[in-house]
Amino acid sequence: MKSIRSHLLTLQASALLITALVVSLMTFRLAWNGFNNVRDLGLEQIAATVLRHDTSLDGEPFAASGSAPQGQPDEDEDHFVSQIWTRDGQLLFSSLPQVGPPLQSVGHHIVTWQGQSWRVFAVDEDDRVVQVAVTTAIRRQHFYDLVRWLTLPLLLLVLLLGFFIRQAISDALRPLDELRNEVGQRGGRQLHSIPTEGLPTEVVPLTRTLNDLLDRLDVLMNAQKRFIADAAHELNTPLAAIRLQAQLLRRLPASERETAMDELDQGIARACRMVQQLLELARLDPEVRGHHMAPLVLGALVCEAVSAFQGMAGNQDIALTLDMPQAPADIIIQGDAHALRTLLDNLIENALRYAGPGARVEVSLRGAEGYAVMRVADSGPGIPPEQRQRALERFVRLDEQRARSVHGSGLGLSIAQSVVTAHRGELLLGQSRWGGLEVCIRLPLDAQEAAPAMPDSGPTTA
């Protein structure tokens, strides 16, 4: 699992170490150059001092009077060697017998003599040349002793910066930790919005997105609670009736059991239909099941649905007709075939159930101005204008006596409304030309665009 904190710490620590390394190299280089310049200046000052105090020599060549005591040259060699030469190369004086490089030209030089590297400075005046030399090994040793003290502040700076970077990252990410704790402590009944006051600008969009999700989840859970409560209430009535009918069936004589069995079958059929529609409504809920939109020949789907209910219409002596002046392949939309077939089945079945024997039911489909317009009209009793909006709610049966006679559950129009909403369409209830109910549905041929308002020529809602 990738951690933002670890990622930031790694980046900051890497940047700090690289910067410290570059600064260390630059400091080392600058300090080494400065140290050499100071030491070279020291050689120049020593040479000038020797020139000013050189009054005791008479011009005789220098002759070493024996070797220096054992160990003394090494000790003196740790400092420097001063020599006085004539211009023709005769050594007049040496601070250390048998120690020191040969005569060099005027200026600074690095000379290898007897396996050692020497830093040499020579200056002439009149007929004499003063030469001062020191080994580079001694110079480096003195510099390294100094470098240890130079690196101590740099190391302390790196440690302090690392500590402050870690604290800064922890402080910057603290709002995320608080947001995590806030969300983690929420339960199913604590879906209120998270306050955004005082949060960093970068965290506010995330918090607002979470609040939107919590709001949608709260709406969904409340809707599910109401759905479950309504379903339990609605199922209680047919199940209680079935139980009562079963008890009465046991007590009735054999001559009356046939009628009681018919009533029991009707109760079971009503309960089964309600359960089936509850399952359909749950499956078609866009918050639970995502609709699989694809190019769909709507005319062919309407033809199949009407053909499937011809048998039921014939048994009830109902004239079920299809009005589709265009060819089925001419009306193509982006839609979910299963959901739209469920929509048509519910509308046609409701029309057949409530229209009554001898009635007329007409299903029409037309394409107009980029929209598919479906209508399911019947010659039944219809719905009064003031009750049409309420008829779209779940478990609403406007005529209880009529609903019981046709085993209604009050879910057909609610299922249709759910499918139309998922397809960004519009469902309106109106009056058919025969005085019954007309359900008009407009679906955009392009599912990405919302349907505009219905024209005045169509049915109107109450």
CATH 1.10.287 is the classification of domain 190-284: yes
Q: Does residue 88 surpass a pLDDT of 60?
A: yes
Q: Minimum mean pLDDT among 62-76, 81-95, 159-173, 288-302: which range?
A: 62-76
pLDDT tens figures, 146-201:
887 878 888 888 888 888 888 888 888 888 877 777 777 776 666 777 777 777 77
Q: Does residue 27 surpass a pLDDT of 50?
A: yes
Q: Please give the pLDDT value at position 306.
A: 92
Q: Please give the pLDDT value at position 460.
A: 32
Q: Does residue 62 surpass a pLDDT of 60?
A: no
Q: Please give the pLDDT value at position 237.
A: 63
Q: Give the mean model confidence (pLDDT) for residues 58-80.
A: 48
Q: Does residue 34 surpass a pLDDT of 70?
A: yes
Q: Give the mean model confidence (pLDDT) for residues 414-430.
A: 86
Q: Please give the pLDDT value at position 72.
A: 43
Q: Give the mean model confidence (pLDDT) for residues 440-458.
A: 54
Q: Minimum mean pLDDT among 138-142, 276-280, 417-421, 441-445: which range?
A: 276-280
Task: Indicate if 190-284 has the same CATH topology as 1-55+74-185.
Answer: no
Q: In the CATH scheme, what is the code of domain 1-55+74-185?
A: 3.30.450
Q: Please give the pLDDT value at position 207.
A: 81
The proportion of the chain whose per-residue pLDDT surpasses 90, expressed as a percent, equals: 10
Q: Please give the pLDDT value at position 38.
A: 87
pLDDT tens figures, 277-309:
667 666 666 554 555 788 888 889 999 999 999
Domain 292-444, what architecture?
Answer: 2-Layer Sandwich (3.30)
Q: Please give the pLDDT value at position 63.
A: 47
**Choice between 344 and 395, residue whose per-residue pLDDT is larger:** 344
Q: Please give the pLDDT value at position 441.
A: 92
Q: Does residue 458 surpass a pLDDT of 50?
A: no
As a whole number of angstroms, the distance between CA 44 and CA 38 comes to 10
Mean pLDDT (the chain) is: 77
State the pLDDT confidence band at 402, using cuts at 50, 70 and 90. Answer: very low
State the pLDDT confidence band at 403, using cuts at 50, 70 and 90. Answer: very low
Q: Give the mean model confidence (pLDDT) for residues 10-18.
A: 87
In the chain, domain spans: 1-55+74-185, 190-284, 292-444
Q: Please give the pLDDT value at position 364.
A: 93
Q: Does residue 400 surpass a pLDDT of 70?
A: no
pTM above 0.85, yes or no: no
